A = this chain, B = another copy of it.
């Protein structure tokens, strides 16, 4: 049996997302432990640093900073520093970030709806 994804409608040639290809890198950013949660949080509203720290429960200062930097570099997140005293920095989704969130939210909704029964299966199988 020949496995070829070359004609796949998912745009993957030479198998699923070859190691060296750009989509693998972007996939890693988007599905990183904290990337998903930050994107979902910002899909609801613009948030300040401290608000993100609260909403994305469990994220460390270091990981939040790193996640935001990656999402900013990818053009998903906009960092807006207001020239006021005390300083106010707000994070929001760019137009590209909203495009992404639109594809991410149905997945997150499905997970939220099904997680309990999925993990119940674990205990049942043990």
Contacts and interface: CB of A to CB of B under 8 A. Distances in A.
Contact of A10 (B21, B31, B45, B112): B112
A119 B22 contact: yes
Given A51-B1, A96-B118, A56 B16 contact: yes
A74 B122 contact: yes
What is the count of identical protomers in the complex? Answer: 2
A108 B36 contact: no
State which size class the interface on A falls in. 35 or more
A16 B28 contact: no
A105 B15 contact: no
Contacts of A111: 23, 26-27, 30
Given A55-B15, A100-B110, A116 B75 contact: no
A107 B107 contact: yes
A121 B56 contact: no
B118 A11 contact: no
